[in-house]
Structure 1
Amino acid sequence: MTSYKLNSLNLPKLKDSVSIPQYNREKVKTGIVHVGVGGFHRAHQAFYTDQLLNESVTDWGICGVALLDFDTKIYNTLKDQNGLYTLVVKELDGSLTKRVIGSIVEYLFAPEDPLLVIEKMASPEVKIITLTITEGGYNYNEATGEFDFENQLIQHDQKHPQAPKTIFGYLTQALKLRKERGLVGCTIQSCDNIQGNGHMTKKMLLSYVLVAEPELAPWILQNVSFPNAMVDRITPATAPIDITNLKETSGIDDAWPVVCEPFIQWVIEDDFIAGRPAWETVGAQFVENVAPYEKMKLSLLNAGHSILGIIGALMGYSTIDEAANNPDLHAFLRAYMKHEVIPILGNLEGINLQKYEESLLQRFGNSYIKDQIERICSESSAKFPIFILPTVNAQLKQKGSLDYAALVIAAWAVYSLGKDKNGNTIHRKDAIKNILQEKALASKENPQVFLEIESVFGKLNQSEIFVAAYTKAYQKIITYGIEKCVADTNSKILNKN
């Protein structure tokens, strides 16, 4: 099959083999600046926006911003492809639905020209700034609940405001320009997996502003909105085989397509101070209060992913579907959801939790997605406080079940030693990887040491009930191995011994 390099010039040549944008991209105005143009953004927000542009909307194009030096590859790819990329949906039956997305009409590389990015964010035509900067990007200290001013990059931004390195430096300078020029404010919308992500964004930004540009804070409070949102779509890292298959089956030479599952969800609080796209016409849901939806998703889906990732890695698996299709681990995750998560969610109007749980287990087990465990486990120190610990703390308050969560955290301590059950190296990526390993090594003598990482666990090590459950689980894993512990927990043997 003849293949064509994906770009604007070749786009018409692909229309017979794949769905392409039905709008003139040159006439689309940029109304959104998005920071963090990774796979999830391209499978989610950019997909919703592409659908909207196909409905003759012209003023909500996206300017993608690559914030970090690490983002050089994605920036160069989008630049070479005129912002185009292919979204490949891996259906449950193994079939593939392919679509070229064109909603990213501009793209900037922040390290190359910081002032250009600041100017773009301050542009009058930009009404919304959206973020996918990962959980760790919010510079939040779990122990104190406050902004981390010890971060060297934050200190750099305070000293060099015109050449920032963090999202807070960029937003501060852009909003300052809007204020000085007498422009209207804008909406800053987080699309990350953080409960109350809008509240978090507002709190962290204002914390920085009150130190860096204190006179700007009142203007932000009056002119900037921060809606909360819940986002959901499993989007594994693109593998070389995905690129090859796309080229061979569709004739599309795309250097970085995005693969994802068919399920997608976006629940948003309708609080956009300068206007917004009609995303509800293409499947998004606008609500007054997103908290019940995000709590459900973070506690079930995101926590479930982390559980399958950590325990699956110890079992020697490399993909989430392998872990999810292990009968004992499947049963363990189901029991965790049933006994420890669902009891603390309360009554969620309009939500059938049993059906949601079943859909999650089905999605996790999709053997065509091949989500890499290494990706899911990356930056676990930022994920556990958000996905797992709220459930633990809620169960402690109501003196409920802790056995499953205790085993998960004990498994994370063992995982942090860096070896699976067969002695193979586990490749770990975490901002505090060295601290995790240091505490994991010390835990061989005293398991409780791992819980002393205050930035992750807060004061959890002061709970005698949890420490006892965690210590028992840890010793069981060390003595009998992870597989037997998972099986025994399912049958309650762990709690009787």
Structure 2
Amino acid sequence: MRLSLANLSRLPADIRRPAYDVAAAQVGVVHLGVGAFHRAHQAVYLDDCLARGAAGWAVCGASLRSPDTSEALDPQDGLYTLAVRSGTGDDLRVIGSLRRLLVAPRDPSTLLAAMCDPNVRIVTLTVTEKGYCHDPATGTLDEAHPDIIADLANPAVPRSAPGFLVEALARRRAAGVAPFTVLCCDNLPANGETVARVVARFAALRDPDLGRWVEAEVAFPCTMVDRIVPATTDADRAMVAGRLGMEDAWPVMAEPFTQWVVEDRFPAGRPPLEDVGAELVADVRPYELMKLRLLNGSHSTLAYLGYLAGKETIAETMAEPAFQRLVARLQDEEVTSTVPAPPGADLGAYKRALRERFANPALKHRTWQIAMDGSQKLPQRLLSPIRDRLAAGAPIGFLALGVAGWMRYVSGTDEKGSAIDVRDPLAARFKAVAETAGPDADRLAEGLLAVREVFGADLPTDPRFTGAVKAALGRLYAEGAAASVDAATRG
């Protein structure tokens, strides 16, 4: 027996289920990048809105790459289980807000038609940093990106997120339909502004008048999203099936904590997010900076160094006293000074809560999973606070150790000589650099520092930065990650 609308009534009493008529819910949001994070975060808030009677805010989810989510959830009428994991057990809930699933490469015209539906007033995105086809060092459109070149040549059959957004907006404009609001839910700096810049530039390359219209008429609110969502395992599926008494092909796991801070700028209307726990604010930037630098920066540092130290998960990494000290000292001594506290926020309490979340043994968040796509993440998570510290003449030892951990990781060989499965848009370039450098830390650092898309033009010419990174990378090669972290945090 499989989870479906027909089988909802057969669920055990302790499994929460949608408190509304799922089949009658009308799509008002198209979501690009319908992966685990969206299903554990935005879709849950919208499920809560639907339960409060906001019937016009169900989701049409679209994958821009893989059909896996559609193939798993279509036979389940879009239903899936959210398992909230804590030290006291797993709280299970069936989510019904995902009413339609599309696979863009199979049928881009159907996705474009969905985005042009006048009932759709918001398009949300979780396509990861690399999905915006931008230069992470500058925040501008990468006009040489293969997908951008293809979408400019054939705009009616887009491949990229900017391509789909602009083609759908152009069609709505031509039809006299008001534009949808574009709501980025990825970890980009000033994400709404960044996506606005990328999309407007792409539109202008197609047609300067269209570019001006996008700049003038389309809203791109900034957001900050926060929830730890590890990849679902076969053991997770088995646990969920045992609790449900039926199969769920793709449940999602998440921690209890969830946060969504949204700039309240929706000309076409929005769901009552403030009634279901989201924070609607005038300025997201302080929240975004707090999260990107304190949470994401620490997470990436733990991922690279923890992986090199042989740790499979973040919780396993945080069980080591040296890594506990690393996170505390990184946050307290180097990052906090670059983070203005959001209104009413207690940064000390926030950092303590982060350390507890990282250490949650119920979450099997793999270091390898977090380590993916580092070239897209490093600029905002570690390099931006490094720039602020350098401008203030302040030390960057722990931040540099995180950067060195990334360099050692993307070399593609771990401390035991085994291959690392490096998943990154620039993986081939990193491999070429590593092959040229061999086991020479200075040569590896120099080769990677020359990757402008990551480090820009300024950091590679600052000896305070290059010296700190080379020294840390040399220690990682000479002593290994565990010993390097232990030595660095004892002083």
With structure 2 as the length reference, what TM-score do the two structures score?
Answer: 0.96
Residue of structure 2 in register with 1:6 after alignment: 3
Q: Distance in 1 between matches of 2:225 and 2:26?
A: 25
Could you tell me whether the CA contact under 8 Å between 2:300 and 2:370 is conserved in 1? Answer: yes
Q: Distance in 2 between matches of 1:169 and 1:101?
A: 30
Residue of structure 1 in register with 2:131 after alignment: 137
Q: Distance in 1 between matches of 2:420 and 2:314?
A: 15
Superposition map of 1:115-134 within 5 A: 115-134=109-128
Residue of structure 2 in register with 1:450 after alignment: 448
Give the drift of 1:9: 1.3
Residue of structure 2 in register with 1:60 after alignment: 57
Give the drift of 1:56: 1.9
2:177 counterpart of 1:186:
no
> Pairwise CA RMSD of aligned residues?
1.4
Residue of structure 2 in register with 1:407 after alignment: 401
Change in 2 beyond 3 A, CA 1:282/1:176: same
Residue of structure 1 in register with 2:265 after alignment: 271
Q: Distance in 2 between matches of 1:463 and 1:115?
A: 49
Residue of structure 2 in register with 1:338 after alignment: 332
Residue of structure 2 in register with 1:364 after alignment: 358
Could you tell me whether the CA contact under 8 Å between 2:297 and 2:382 is conserved in 1? Answer: yes
DSSP 3-state at the match of 2:67: helix
2:320 counterpart of 1:326:
yes
DSSP 3-state at the match of 1:225: coil
Could you tell me whether the CA contact under 8 Å between 1:179 and 1:219 is conserved in 2? Answer: no
2:31 counterpart of 1:34:
yes
Tell me the alpha carbon deviations over residues 377-400 of structure 1, each in whole angstroms, 9 at most, x when there is no partner: 011111101211111100010011
Could you tell me whether the CA contact under 8 Å between 1:413 and 1:440 is conserved in 2? Answer: no
2:77 counterpart of 1:82:
yes
Q: Distance in 1 between matches of 2:331 and 2:39?
A: 29
The letter for the 2-side match of 1:66 is S
Q: Pick one of 148, 164, 168 that aligns with 1:170.
A: 164
The letter for the 2-side match of 1:82 is D
DSSP 3-state at the match of 1:274: coil
Residue of structure 2 in register with 1:480 after alignment: 479
Could you tell me whether the CA contact under 8 Å between 1:142 and 1:454 is conserved in 2? Answer: no
Where structure 2 has 5 or more consecutive residues not aligned to the other structure, the ranges are none
Change in 2 beyond 3 A, CA 1:414/1:356: same
Give the drift of 1:223: 2.5
Could you tell me whether the CA contact under 8 Å between 2:133 and 2:160 is conserved in 1? Answer: no
Residue of structure 2 in register with 1:259 after alignment: 253
Tell me the alpha carbon deviations over residues 371-424 of structure 1, each in whole angstroms, 9 at most, x when there is no partner: 011110011111101211111100010011211111111122111222333333
Q: Pick one of 77, 92, 106 that aligns with 1:98.
A: 92
Q: Distance in 2 between matches of 1:101 and 1:304?
A: 31
Give the drift of 1:295: 0.2
DSSP 3-state at the match of 2:52: coil
Tell me the alpha carbon deviations over residues 250-272 of structure 1, each in whole angstroms, 9 at most, x when there is no partner: 31300000000000000000000
Q: Distance in 2 between matches of 1:372 and 1:470?
A: 25
2:216 counterpart of 1:222:
yes
Q: Distance in 2 between matches of 1:290 and 1:216?
A: 28
Q: Distance in 2 between matches of 1:142 and 1:244?
A: 39
Tell me the alpha carbon deviations over residues 329-381 of structure 1, each in whole angstroms, 9 at most, x when there is no partner: 11011100011100111344311111111100100011110101111001111
Give the drift of 1:442: 4.1
Residue of structure 2 in register with 1:464 after alignment: 463
The letter for the 2-side match of 1:169 is G
The letter for the 1-side match of 2:59 is I
Q: Distance in 2 between matches of 1:282 and 1:349?
A: 20
Give the drift of 1:485: 1.4
2:37 counterpart of 1:48:
no
Change in 2 beyond 3 A, CA 1:112/1:142: closer
Could you tell me whether the CA contact under 8 Å between 2:450 and 2:460 is conserved in 1? Answer: yes
Give the drift of 1:156: 0.9
DSSP 3-state at the match of 1:362: helix
Could you tell me whether the CA contact under 8 Å between 2:43 and 2:97 is conserved in 1? Answer: yes
Give the drift of 1:17: 4.2
Percentage of identical aligned residues:
35
Give the drift of 1:304: 1.2
Residue of structure 2 in register with 1:416 after alignment: 410
Residue of structure 1 in register with 2:194 after alignment: 200
Worse-superposed segment, 471-480 or 167-176: 471-480
Q: Distance in 2 between matches of 1:340 and 1:440?
A: 29
Q: Distance in 2 between matches of 1:386 and 1:137?
A: 16
